[in-house]
Amino acid sequence: MLTLLELLKDGRFHSGEALGAALGVSRSAVWKQLQQLEVELGLSIHKVRGRGYQLASPLVLLDAQKIVAAGPSPAWPVHAYDSIDSTNAEALRLVERGASAPFIVVAERQTSGRGRRGRQWVSPFAENIYYSLLLRIDGGMRQLEGLSLVVGLAVLHALREQGLPGVGLKWPNDVLIGRKKIAGILLELVGDPADVCHVVLGIGVNANMQAAEQIDQPWTSVRSEIGRPVDRNQLISSLSKKLQEYLRLHREAGFAAIQAEWEQNHLWQGREVSLVAGVNSINGTVLGIDQQGALRLSVDGVEKVFSGGELSLRLRDDS
């Protein structure tokens, strides 16, 4: 099926006879595989009598060699998959099997993609970026302080290089354009943070997605914003370069060196918000973040600090 996709990815018409000859199967077998492509991968295929079959739009598939060649130096190894349950989960499995950090896992689609608080991360085939970077942390709790916020800055600058000057951050792990989400971050840690541990930096970026009925919040994509498809291989390489740059700064100088830049790019600075934890919520005004990346709120005139992966920030209805 993926060999058939390689033949069709140029977006041109291909006759059933030519496809069958290339695959060494009958035309009826080609027809069955085309149906599988549509059902399993959600692809739209045009069928025109006398001309053959054509993808609704051309595809540029992930290429690990291109990603490494255009990525940061020293290079991070790239593990690329056609389909995986979750790039974060696969990164952790690779560590268990002895893979040496750092390395990257990317995939054309995820069958069980996850966001924060157990939410599904919608992952259509060959449209977006599903990216996990696995790092080894040696006895440095400071290296974990504000780490998801550091990742957010790297994502922000990679997207600005694509021609999106209006992209900004929302505490703790969202990247937005206006009120629409364009990227999200999910960090997972295994091991002892006080000794040796591994942390996987999971990043999802809406790259070329144009429709997704399953998403239950406002969203946008790079393609929707700039009006043309983006080369995901190039964007992944750019993202890796920015991550290497910001992770080095964080490692050498701590999160305090990045705090001011993060606040400058926080779209909700000074806004009236509700901080939600389960069934409880706290109303306040965003003051900023502290040197560990925790949220600073003014609650009834008193400054309070909040941190934790299960917290969610929302704008107040009257803000």
Task: Determine whether 314 is an active site residue.
Answer: yes
Task: Determine whether 117 is an active site residue.
Answer: no
Is 309 one of the annotated binding-site residues? no
Is 100 one of the annotated binding-site residues? no
Task: Determine whether 116 is an active site residue.
Answer: yes
Is 181 one of the annotated binding-site residues? yes
Residue in this structure with the two tokens 């290497």, named with its chain if needed: 244
Is 87 one of the annotated binding-site residues? yes
Indicate which residue of 51, 117, 179, 314 is catalytic: 314
Indicate which residue of 109, 116, 170, 232 is catalytic: 116
Is 88 one of the annotated binding-site residues? yes
Is 148 one of the annotated binding-site residues? no
CA dihedral of 137, 141, 142, 144, whole degrees rounded to 10: 60
Indicate which residue of 170, 181, 232, 241 is catalytic: 181
Annotated binding-site ranges for biotin: 86-88, 110, 114-116, 181
Residues forming the active site: 116, 181, 314
Annotated binding site: 86-88, 110, 114-116, 181
